[in-house]
Amino acid sequence: MSKVLLELKDICKAYQDGSEKRLILENISLSVEAGEFAAVVGPSGSGKSTLLSVAGLLLTPDSGSILIAGKDVTSASKRERTGIRRRQIGFVFQNHNLLPFLKTEDQLSFVQDRGVKDKSKIDELLRELGIESCRSSYPAKMSGGERQRTAIARAFINDPDIILADEPTASLDAERGRAVAEMIKAEVKKRNKAAIMVTHDTRILDLTDKVYRIEDRRLVAEQ
């Protein structure tokens, strides 16, 4: 059995909605192993993004614990969380979220860990994702697919333990969306990462290893 890289245990999260508290996630537990590509689906507003934010240390759960690479990070300080996000978590966002003023290779070196200015790593990722030709282009000059692939490269640059993808195909057409999901899958498998992808797009679920559905605040495994 492979190593579990991400583990969520009994996560609860509620939002203050006016005067009452609205429970979004209730006792959610989930573990993802190295080399596993999991998908989380569910209707909008069901708490998919909240779950991803909790896993990505952007939100603190009301109860429950988060383990990354076996280490409990539930009560890490704000500063520690920032460091963990940089080194152990790779994000792929819905709208690429690249910095408009940086060329592709700078997008990667900008987030590369300080002191680890390893150019060969950048070259390798650009080659694998087929965006070498965009090396010196600004995001505004690239196609949607190229941007999203750059964002994937950025997510992998610091060799993180887990990859969190938030609707990575939402801004692309079916064909390009599928290509992007395939690339995430290929990188996850090759580099042995644990990945969670939140998505609407049921046509790419066949690429994932496991599919979870959020229903009534609870996480249910499908298949």
Partner 1 sequence: MRYALKEIAFEKKKYILIELLLILLMFMVLFLSGLASGLGRAVTSAIETMDADSFVVDESAEKMITVSKVETGLLDELRAKGVEAAPLDIHRMHIRKQDDDEKLNITYFAIEAGSFIEPEVIEGKGLSHSDGEATILLDDDFRVEGISVGDKVVDAAAGTEFTVAGFVKDRMYGHTSVGYITTDSYTKLRQALSPMYVPEYHAIAVKGDKDLGLDPDILESVSKKEIIKNIPSYTAENMTITMIVWVLVIISAVIIGIFNYIMTLQKRRQFGVMKAIGLSGGELAGMLICEVCIVSVFAGIVSLGLTFGMAAAMPEKMPFYLEVSNAVTVTAAFVVISVLSSLLSVINISRIDPIIAIGGGDNE
Using CA atoms, how far apart are residues 161 and 192, in angstroms rounded to an integer? 8
| Burial 11-29, CB ≥16 within 10 A → b, else e | bbbbeeeeeeeeebbeebe
Rule CB under 8 A: say whether 84 interacts with partner 1.
Answer: yes
Using CA atoms, how far apart are residues 76 and 191, in angstroms rounded to an integer? 26
Cβ–Cβ under 8 Å, residues 189 and 15: no
Quick one: 23 or 101, whose CB is closer to partner 1?
Answer: 101
| Contact set for partner 1, span 184-213 (CB under 8 A) | none
Binding mask 92-131 for partner 1 (x = CB under 8 A): -xxx-x-xxxx---x---xx--------------------
Q: Which segment (65-73, 84-92, 123-131, 177-185) binds partner 1 by CB under 8 A? A: 84-92
Rule CB under 8 A: say whether 87 interacts with partner 1.
Answer: yes
- The type of residue at 187 is E
Quick one: 117 or 206, whose CB is closer to partner 1?
Answer: 117
Fill in the DSSP letter of residue 11. E
Give the strand pairing for 63-68 and 4-17: antiparallel
How many residues lie near partner 1 (CB under 8 A)?
31
Rule CB under 8 A: say whether 79 interacts with partner 1.
Answer: yes
Tokens of 163: 């990859």
Report the interface residues with partner 1, using CB under 8 A.
49, 52-53, 56, 58-59, 79, 82-87, 89, 91, 93-95, 97, 99-102, 106, 110-111, 138, 154, 158, 166, 170
